[in-house]
Structures are given as structure tokens and as C-alpha cells.
Amino acid sequence: MLEYIIKKYPNRRLYDTEQSKYITVSDVKELIISGKAIQVLDSTSNEDLTRTILLQIIIESESAGEPIFSSNLLQQIIRFYGSSFQNMFAKYMEESMQFFIQQPFIEQQADMKENFVSDPVAAMTKLTENNIKAWQDMQKGFFNSFSSSTKNDKKKS
């Protein structure tokens, strides 16, 4: 997927190079929601500012409504910075997100609607059991790959 290039100018304005117009951070958020992969570059140095803009979008979204990240969760994430587990945690989070978005939610929603009418408790129990099993399988794969890479690193030493 080609990245949608946005230039950030010294006056702090964002320029959409595809549509040749200035846009807002909210517009960037809408591009992302619509499925575009974006890249934000400093207009003078070409420094990649994508992460900074994405974090700004998250901060604004967290402040505007029901937050995804609790204070406790944010504190736990901060504790990983600089620790020996930082890279492992980052990889785990990225793989967890990929796993989460690849779930067949549409099928689950259709099944759940049908089953929810007849037996809501059974429908929720089945959905929970399926999700727990899927998460456990994903975690086993992740930790097995991490432990095998650690063993390989020790053999090289």
C-alpha cells in the first residue's frame, strides 16, 4: 500500500500532497480511519514526523471522549520504556493489534445477533470462549517465537 504523503510546514500547517491543499489534524485522522497509510514529512528537512502526528491524534481523541487508555495502563506502558522488555512489549502490542483487526467480526456479529435473540447468555459465553482461545493461541505463538529467538541469541554468544 502506497503511503499518503503529508508535508508539515514551519507554520505548523499540514499540506496534503495528493489533493494539493492544507488540511487539519482531524483531516489526517479521517484519512487514517478511511484506511489510508500516511506519512508526515517535515517540509524542509524531510524528517519523518508521522509518529508525532499520530500521537497527537491519539492525545486529542483520548481527551475528547471515552478514552481507550486508562491512567493505570499508561503508567504500565511507561514502565516498559528503557527496560529490557521494551522491544518485546512493542512487538507483542503490534501483533496483538494485527490479530485483533483480523478477527472475522462481521461473521461473529451476525452469529451473535441470531443467537442473542434465542439465548443471550449462551451467545456471550460462546463469543468469550472463542476470543479467549484465539488470544491464548496467539500468545503461545508469540512467546514460543520469543523464547526460540532468545535461545538462538544465547547459542551465538
Domain that holds residue 138: 103-156
Nearest Cα residue to 69 out of 56, 84, 59: 59
Q: Is 82 left (phi over 0), alpha (psi -120 to 50) or beta?
A: left
pLDDT tens track for 69-113:
899 999 999 999 998 889 888 888 888 787 777 766 555 665 656
Does residue 134 form part of some domain? yes
Looking at 42, 64, 86, the residue that finishes a domain is 64
- Cell numbers 451476525 correspond to 110
Instruction: Please state the domain count of the chain.
Output: 2
Q: Give yes or no for a contact between 37 and 1, defined as CB atoms under 8 angstroms apart.
A: yes
Does residue 84 form part of some domain? no
Does residue 46 form part of some domain? yes
pLDDT tens track for 25-58:
999 999 998 889 999 999 999 999 999 999 999 9
Does residue 10 form part of some domain? yes
Q: Alpha helices, DSSP H only, in the chain?
A: 25-33, 50-64, 71-80, 86-101, 105-118, 120-156
Residues with Cβ < 8 Å from 99, sequence gap 6 or more? 134, 135, 138
Looking at 17, 46, 64, the residue that finishes a domain is 64
Query: Identity (one letter) of the amino acid at 143?
Result: F
Does residue 26 form part of some domain? yes
Residue 128: what pLDDT? 74
Residue 8 sits in the same domain as residue 60: yes
Does residue 70 form part of some domain? no
Gyration radius of the chain's alpha carbons: 21
Nearest Cα residue to 36 out of 62, 1, 7, 6: 1
| Residues paired with residue 24 on neighbouring β-strands, in sequence order | none
Please check the confidence at residue 116 and state whether its pLDDT lies above 60. no
pTM given for the model? 0.65
Q: What is the distance between the alpha carbons of residues 99 and 132, in angstroms, rounded to a whole number? A: 12
